[in-house]
Amino acid sequence: MAQAGEAQKLESFVWLLGHQLVLFHYYFIARHCRKVAEPELEAGEKIEIAEVGFEEFIKKMSHNYWGGEFTADILRLRLEPKKLEEFKKKMFSK
């Protein structure tokens, strides 16, 4: 499982229709940050910045078809409320 407290990079890819087109999805999770500038995008790059609370974070990651192992970890945590609460304290404590 990804460690809390660090910016996490989660990567997954998918092959489309048997072609060799590979799509990459990256997720960066950061805490105690502030925005200082707009992202400088490269050609074809799309970045979405979203500030979310814990419940919204869990919901988004639970319905994330591209998240791979991290999404599986979140789904397992949802089955164990005590561990989910520990994760919340690590990720969302001030």
Residue 13 is assigned to a structural domain of this protein:
yes
Residue-wise pLDDT tens digits, 56-81: 988 888 887 666 788 888 889 999 99
Task: Tell me which residue range forms the domain holding 19.
Answer: 8-92
Are 31 and 68 a contacting pair, CB within 8 Å? no
In a domain, residue 2? The reply is: no
pLDDT higher than 70, residue 21: no
**Under a CB-based contact definition with an 8 Å cutoff, are residues 82 and 43 in contact?**
no
- Residue 1 inside a domain? The answer is no
Q: Which residues of 32-43 are buried (b: 16+ CB within 10 A; e: fewer)?
A: eeeeeeeeeeee
Phi, psi (5° rounding) for residue 54? -60, -45
User: Quick one: average pLDDT of 76-89?
Assistant: 92
Please compute the mean of the pLDDT values over residues 18-38 and round it to a whole number: 75
Q: How many domains does the chain have?
A: 1
Q: Does any domain span residue 68?
A: yes
Residue 59 located in a structural domain: yes
Is residue 40 included in any domain, yes or no? yes
